[in-house]
Structure 1
């Protein structure tokens, strides 16, 4: 827990922006002492904004650890070896920097939330509504981070309060069910403490319905079949719990389906009627933009398109299988995927890339400065998760069909009848491509081993991928964390 040890009781570091990016502004902190910092409502507002800034790493984390890991991308390693190639190939070791980055980012953000929760009280924030909001936001963000940790690493240290460096070195891994207990408690509390919506500049903050939606996703994840002992899926059969939460969101009247798919991701339509929760980004050279469009697309394309900021690595390809899964008439295909391009030298590059979040005219000052929010939970996801719960609980097939066909109709596809779980998962794959959901969907539904191994046989023309096995549902505990106190952590099965 190297990242935690370095940050205990140092508020200046807890709220240090670094490469974080969010529209929620954090002012400089003049006094680095935690005891001295939390004095009034303004201090807590700054602290909560610091926690939101910790979410800036969320989209890229799920791009690499969910999209690249899944059958949506084939990134075997060309033009050199990068940290994401072993993620794709199932050849990871514990020294991979994506592992340490995910662990450190999550715990840094958790500690920001803990600092708020440990210090907030009626004397420092007398306004009960504001105090409840700050508390709810901190618990929502902390739950989101622990949900990432438990899905990626399984059992992890549960740290619910600020602790000293010495104490941190003695905290071992908490079993998965106990981590889930904290996640559920935090999200249930957030659902009660947070407002249903915000107006004006506060739009984009976590709401009570965002908490309900993420909690429903937690219940769905816990409910699936167990493929790996100590993994994130518990066979808990909590589909009814998820269904009821999703029904509350649908019945709330807070959200409305948008009939134009492209408008969901428009730079001019952020925090729209389908946005349940999205990470906020803003370009302008202030350190509040996102790298996502440039990370997905190659520099050679950016130069050919005369976008005057550098692009990412040229070897992050959309899989042929995903491309072929889109019907020719599917409107999402052309919007989501760049199917080859002519480079700056006039040569056709016959490769496919995600371009879902790109507006070529809306670049910022550099490749990390795009001003497009990144979705965490969309209303479409709420509808499709609700359909999924109905299939698991003996609900109305007619409602399932209508919800799936609502999404298909927007994409220009004909309706289906008698929609099955397999068809629903395929619809989710096409709808949420590049949004970081695919690997999680495969894991929680118990499809990951069968789907990935069939896909590897078909897709792995370089023959560099290892067969998918249950141990690879989790990632390795970062070696940097294991080295801090030998024997404190046992490495996840399947990794050296």
Structure 2
């Protein structure tokens, strides 16, 4: 049966490439005008390229969805109810109630894209195509292998071993397929990465398309996961009774074998990325200043796309593979997550547990039990904090561009403050609170807003203007962190310290002082949490390290800020932050009104839906469901 491929982009390309024929009298012989025969696609390089380009849509907006993976971790809280995130965080998901599912990792969505990759590989690996330029063929094949490996890696890191499908199914095929083991899936993804790297080596790197380096970065990530506690079954069984009681642990990890060799493979894969890539300012021998560290981190997050003053466009060298945007309909991250007092939606707001984990700038821990730190919690913190979190009193964009002349100081207001009005003292709720005068229903529950990935260009009004900051699927520092982790686990502590310090020096932080393997592991995990925040790392890291109960399972905390007049001081509207006028009090509070979080070991792996189990009788469910 001849397949028909529907794709608006392919159709437009076809009209330009092949021309549009005149009207035909034999109407029954005409191909539907919005479809192109698959035979034509693989005879024309432009159409074949358009087909592969469409597969990239399976990446969607990367991590810039309205609901973010950070909000099923101890990074952020999703502000709006009834989206299914709360079901994940309470451990109540099951095969009939999956909770939030994103189209960048959903089971059926990934297999739809894998099918397109399989079609590409099948057609371009044979002789039944009209593409004679081997360079073009290698480019498209390399992209298809990378994308297939990426989609499988998404499935595997959420659900463990899945059926490995490499053929192009027809309607008459048997769709009942057993799950492959976790080890088989890892080996398959690694092979796709190796094939992609080989095919793409020497090819010009095109913005927004994959490359040999991106393939090596994906390989580094999946091998790091493969070596981790969750996927070493003897270790996982010792840490979880749910996994210990599962009859098919081969779907979750390695039953036996030399774990140290897996760490060595992960280390080698990470080093290959480091040797081939460039990174940004990771050759420093001493810390940058705090101000420069903040700028460095902000520049990295901007991916070379911001025109804000001080942002270094050279930081684009850090980005290995990103999702780029061209218009507002694609990219509304600032609108999704910005402060409600700027007419934004405050979607994924940092929680107190994250804020509290930022060290002081001298490298010592922050503590609410320290009176000096409690009285001024946002002073002298890790410079990355100021490039990641918007807190009460933080300077932000010109508010009058979107909300009127209500805040000439352009500061975040998440507290409740005294104000003098008609000779009386009244209580004023900040513009960015849930009691504020501007879109209060979109206010943060946590008392914080995200800064990272929002373009700080003061000319960009997040509520109504596009920003073009790319989503970093892979960046150089992730490979460095992978290398550090594998070095710690293989006992190469000197290498781990060297690279940990380079990351910290770029951020304006001092060298680490830990020296034992255990202490370095703790320092490393903290550093990865801070450096890679909001980049879809923490949810997976906490699970693969099997520390989810004490991290993801914690109740969220928020900050209550009050400002009371000092003796003899006063202020009338408009309010602005002023420590000479106010005594500010900062009170961390446990939040349960919006979510009550609880970890259940079954959520180390997501369930297969009831519908998928019904459709595929060979599909064995994950433990605990």
- Report TM bin, short chain: 0.7 to 0.9
Per-residue CA shift, 1:435-483, capped at 9, x if unaligned?
A: 1001111222333334334x34988641854642332111121334334
Matched residue SS, 1:441: helix
Matched, 1:32 2:162: no
In the other structure, the counterpart of 1:470 is: 601
Alignment counterpart, residue 333 of structure 2, candidates 289, 292, 301: 292
Superposition pairs of residues 27-426 of structure 1, within 5 angstroms: 27=13, 30-60=34-64, 64=68, 66-75=69-78, 80-94=81-95, 95-96=97-98, 98-99=100-101, 101=103, 102-120=106-124, 121=126, 123-167=129-173, 169-195=175-201, 198=204, 202-225=206-229, 226=232, 227=236, 228=243, 229=249, 232-234=252-254, 236-237=259-260, 238-252=262-276, 254-257=278-281, 260-266=296-302, 267-268=305-306, 269=313, 272-283=316-327, 289-297=330-338, 300-303=340-343, 311-312=344-345, 314=346, 316-327=348-359, 328-340=380-392, 341=412, 342-343=431-432, 345=437, 351-359=447-455, 361-362=459-460, 370-395=467-492, 397-417=493-513, 418=515, 420-426=520-526
Per-residue CA shift, 1:138-197, capped at 9, x if unaligned?
A: 010110110010111223232212212443632343332222222111011112111356
- Please give the root-mean-square deviation of Cα atoms over the aligned residues, in Å: 3.3
Compute the TM-score of the two structures, normalised by the length of structure 2.
0.66
Cα distance in 2 for partners of 1:92, 1:160 equals: 30
CA contact (8 A) 1:57 1:105 kept: no
Per-residue CA shift, 1:43-93, capped at 9, x if unaligned?
A: 2211121112221253247964x4222221244xx7632222212222223
What runs of 5+ residues in structure 2 fail to find an aligned partner?
16-33, 237-242, 244-248, 283-292, 307-312, 360-379, 393-411, 413-430, 558-588
Matched residue SS, 1:273: helix
CA contact (8 A) 1:50 1:112 kept: no
Instruction: Give the drift of 1:219.
Output: 0.9
Cα distance in 1 for partners of 2:314, 2:110 equals: 25
In the other structure, the counterpart of 1:4 is: none
Cα distance in 1 for partners of 2:207, 2:167 equals: 29
Cα distance in 2 for partners of 1:34, 1:271 equals: 42
CA contact (8 A) 1:70 1:438 kept: yes
Matched residue SS, 1:98: coil
In the other structure, the counterpart of 1:21 is: none
Instruction: Give the drift of 1:411.
Output: 2.1
Matched residue SS, 2:322: strand
Cα gap change, 1:86 to 1:461, in 2 (>3 Å): same
Compute the TM-score of the two structures, normalised by the length of structure 1.
0.82
Instruction: Give the drift of 1:134.
Output: 1.1
Cα gap change, 1:9 to 1:57, in 2 (>3 Å): farther
What runs of 5+ residues in structure 1 fail to find an aligned partner?
1-7, 18-23, 304-310
CA contact (8 A) 2:161 2:179 kept: yes
Instruction: Give the drift of 1:426.
Output: 0.6
Instruction: Give the drift of 1:336.
Output: 1.2
Higher deviation after alignment, 25-34 or 174-183: 25-34
CA contact (8 A) 1:196 1:209 kept: no
Instruction: Give the drift of 1:370.
Output: 4.1
Aligned residues: 459
Cα distance in 2 for partners of 1:57, 1:230 equals: 33
CA contact (8 A) 2:63 2:536 kept: yes
Cα gap change, 1:100 to 1:216, in 2 (>3 Å): closer
Per-residue CA shift, 1:315-348, capped at 9, x if unaligned?
A: 6332211111112421211211222533372789
In the other structure, the counterpart of 2:427 is: none
Cα gap change, 1:270 to 1:406, in 2 (>3 Å): closer
In the other structure, the counterpart of 2:5 is: 11
Cα distance in 1 for partners of 2:598, 2:358 equals: 25
Cα distance in 2 for partners of 1:60, 1:482 equals: 30
Cα distance in 1 for partners of 2:5, 2:460 equals: 35
Matched residue SS, 1:281: coil
Cα distance in 2 for partners of 1:424, 1:352 equals: 25
Per-residue CA shift, 1:257-297, capped at 9, x if unaligned?
A: 377111112224498111111122222x5x5x234333334
